[in-house]
Structure 1
Amino acid sequence: METAPPPKRRRTETDAGSEPDPPAPPLTRSTEYWFDGGDIVLQVESTQFRLLKSILSMHSSVFRDMFTIPLPKDEPTPPVVVLPGDTAQDWTLLLGVIFPKSFSTELPPFRLVAAMLRLSKKYDFPLFRKECVRRLKEEFPTSLAEYNKVSAGWTFLTLGNEEILLSVVSLAREIGLPSILPLTYCLVVGGDENLSMTKILDPDDRSVNATDRLACLIGHARLLKLESTTMFAWLNCEVEPREIPSETCNDRVACNAAVVKVFFRLFNPHPQFWILHEWRKNWEDGICRPCRKKAKDIYDAGRETCWQQLPAVFGLPDWEELDTLDFE
C-alpha cells in the first residue's frame, strides 16, 4: 500500500531513442461509492472511492491497523491511499457487498466470488473470505458423495455468459486453494460442453497457463486409461475370465451381445469420460439381473477408485494433502 503515487522520472538524453511512456489515465471518482461523509479515499488504478474508515475497519484488520498510524500534518483531507495491484472492477464488486443497495437471495456470480476472495485474502476480510471459500469448496468438493449432490449443475454459484472453468483453475492457484483443482481439471477435460478443453488444445491461446495445459493434456490420457481398467472393466472382452457374462448369468449369449452394444455406444468412434456420471439405466438393456448387478457394482467401485486417484491423474498430491495445503 502507498499513500501517494511515486513521482515519474524525468526523461534524460539516454532516453531520447525510446518511446515515451503512455499518459496515465485521468483520475475519476466512482459514481457509486463516493460518500460525502467519507473520511478516506482509496485509489485503485485510476478510480477513486471515498469511503468511511469505520466501515472498512469493521470488516478488515488490515485497514483497522492502517488507520491507527498517524498521518503527516500536510496530508490532504480526506487522505488518499493508493492500492497497487488491485483492479477497480474487483473493488466495485466488493463494495457492492459491503454497501448493498437491495436485499438479494440470489446465488453470487463467480466473478463476484473471485473478486471478494482476492481482496478479502489480501486485506483480511475474514467473514467474506470464509463464505467465498465455503462456496467454492462445496461447488468443487473433494469427495465423490458430495460431488454426486452437485453434479446436475451449479449449486452454490452462478455463471456468467462465458466459460469459467479455467478461470476457477487460475483463481485456485492465485489464492492457494489446491483442493478444488482435481475436480476442476476433470471438468475441463471431461465436461459435457468441453469449451475449456478447446482452449487447452489451442497452442496459440495465451490465456492458458502452461502448467494447466500440461496437466490437462497428460490427465486426459491417464483418465481414459484408468476408467477403462476400473469403471468399465465389465465391458472388457479381451480379458479372461470375463466379468460379464458373470458366473451366475442367466443367458450368456444375450448378455454378451448386450455388452458389445454398450461398448460401441460408449466408445465408438470417440471415447468419453464417465467419472462425472453415475450408472445409467439404459446400459442394462438386454442384460440379465445377475449380470446387471455385477456390472453396476464394478462401475460404482471403479468410479470411487478413479475419484481417489483423480489428484494423481493430474500430477497433484492426494486429497488429504491438498486439503492441508489450502490457505483456509
Structure 2
Amino acid sequence: MSSSASQTELKRVEDLWFPDATLILRAENSLFRVHSGILAARSSVFQDMIAFPQPTPPAESDGNEMVDGHVVVRLHDLAGEVEVFLRAIFDSSFFMPPRSPVKFQVVIGVMRLAHKYDVQFLFRRALSHLDSIFPVQFTDSLDRYSVYGDADHVQFDGGDLTVDFIAFRAALEVGASWILPTAYYNIARESDFMLKLGANCHLSPQEEKLFLAAQTKFLRAFGSTYRFMKLLPSPECDSSQCEDTISEGHDVLKRWNDDCTDMDPLGPWVFDYVDGSLCDGCEDLARVQHRAAQEVFWDTLPTLFGLPGWDELKELRRRVIEETA
C-alpha cells in the first residue's frame, strides 16, 4: 500500500477484496477490490467509467492514489451503502427478492446506488421490497396499519419515524414518488413528529408546514371514519351487550380526542380496545361504514400533500418496476 493510502487510514473490506481483481474502489475510508468486468456487465455507469484508459504505474507521481500497484477509484458515496451495493452484485444470496428478510438500511443503500450507477434489476428489487412498507393499494394499507398486521420482512425499528424520513428523502432522490404519500402520512400522524424525528432528521420549513397542515386534515378525517357510531346499535340488534360495548367504544374515542394525539384515520379499529364484542349485525354495519370512510380518506391522501393522485403514482410505479423489467 502506498504512502498516499496508509494502512492505518484505510480499511479493506475483506469479503469484497478479491486478490485476482484489478479494480480498487474507495468510499470514505473503506477499500473494495472487485472484478471490473462483472461490475461493468451490471452497471452502464461503471462500464463507461472502465472504458476510459486507466493510468499506468508509476501513476502516484501524477497525484493518483495507489494501492498494491493499482490506481484507486474514489466514489463519493457512503461506505456502508457502497458495501451493500457491491455485496448485492457479487453475492447473489445477499439481496434476494421479496419476501426474503432484509434490513431497511440495506434496501435504501442498494436502491440509491443502483439508481445512481444504473443497475436496473437491483433498483427494481429494492423498490419492490419497499412496497410492503409504503403500499399504494388501499387493501394493503389496511394490513400495514392493523394492530394484527404480520411482521414485515423488511426489518427496522417499529415506530421509528427515522425510517420514514430516510425513505422519503431517498424516494425524492430516485424519483419513486409513489412512496411519498404513506411516508409523509406516517410522519404527519404523530403530533410530536419534530421531537420524534430528532436533530439528525432535519425537515425544511416547507416540510414542517406541509406536515402540520396535514394534521388538521387528519383530525377531521379521523372523525369521519367514526361517524358510523351514531348508527349503532343496528336496527336488527337484539344483544343487550352491544349497548355496553358501544358506550365503551365512545369512551375510548373521547380519550383519544381529549389527548389530541390520535391523527390516524387509517389506524386500528376502536373496538380492538374495548372488552366487549358486538353482535354480528352491529359488527357488519360498523366495519362496512368504517372501511368505506377509510377508503375515501386513502383516495385523497396523496393530494393532501400536494402530490399527484394514486392513479398517476401507480402508473409511474408500473413504468419503473414493470416496464423496465
TM-score, normalization by structure 1: 0.74
After superposition, the Cα gap between the structure-2 partners of 1:54 and 1:27, relative to the gap in structure 1 and judged at 3 Å, is: farther
Tell me how far apart the structure 2 counterparts of residues 161 and 298 of structure 1 sit (CA, whole Å): 29
Q: Distance in 1 between matches of 2:43 and 2:168?
A: 26
Match of 1:114 in 2: 108
Q: What is residue 4 of structure 1 aligned with on the other side? A: none
* 1:186 CA drift (Å): 2.4
Of 289, 293, 313, which aligns to 2:284? 293
Aligned match of 1:81: 73
Give the distance between the partners of 1:54 and 1:30, measured in 2 at CA: 20
Q: 1:289/1:98 Cα in 2 relative to 1: closer, same or farther (>3 Å)?
A: closer
Gaps of 5+ in 1: 1-24, 237-242
Number of the residue aligned with 2:34? 51
> Which residue of structure 2 lines up, in the alignment, with residue 68 of structure 1?
51
Which of 219, 223, 240 is residue 218 of structure 2 equivalent to?
A: 223
Deviates more, 1:104-113 or 1:197-206: 197-206
Alpha-carbon separation, structure 2, partners of 1:91 and 1:257: 58
**How many pairs align?**
291
For the aligned residue pairs, the C-alpha RMSD in angstroms reads 3.6
Deviation at 1:101? 10
Residue 155 of structure 2 corresponds to residue 155 of structure 1: no
Cα distance in 2, alignment partners of residues 212 and 233 from structure 1: 31
C-alpha separation in 2, matches of 1:169 and 1:47: 27
Does the 8 Å contact 2:248/2:274 carry over to 1? no
Pick closer, same or farther for the CA change 1:102–1:113 going to 2, 3 Å. closer
Q: Determine if the alignment matches structure 1 residue 244 to structure 2 residue 232.
A: yes
Distance 2:93 2:127 in 1: 24
Write the distance in 1 (CA, Å) between the matches of 2:287 and 2:198.
42
- Structure 2: 5+ residue runs without aligned partners? 1-6, 60-68, 321-325
Higher helix share: 2
Cα deviation, residue 303, structure 1: 1.2
Q: Matched residues in 2 for 1:97 and 1:203: separation?
A: 30
Q: What's the % identity of the aligned pairs?
A: 23
Contact 2:23 2:72 in 1 (8 A): yes
1:267 to 243, 254, 260: 254
Code of the residue aligned with 1:233 in structure 2: it is R
> How far, CA to CA, are the matches of 2:236 and 2:52 in structure 1?
80
Deviation, structure 1 residue 293: 3.1
Deviation at 1:135, TM superposition (A): 0.8
Shift of residue 161, structure 1, vs aligned partner: 8.5
Q: Deviations over 1:126-159 (max 9, x none)?
A: 2211110111123311112123344415423111
Write the distance in 1 (CA, Å) between the matches of 2:87 and 2:197: 38
Judge conservation of contact 1:107–1:156 (CA < 8 Å) in 2.
yes
Structure 2 length-normalised TM:
0.75
* Cα distance in 2 for residues equivalent to 1:318 and 1:171: 20
1:167-219 Cα offsets, whole Å, 9 max, x none, are 222222222212112122223344xxx6xx64424798362322443332222
Contact kept in structure 1, 2:10 and 2:29, CA below 8 Å: yes
In the aligned structure 2, how far is the partner of 1:293 from the partner of 1:51? 60
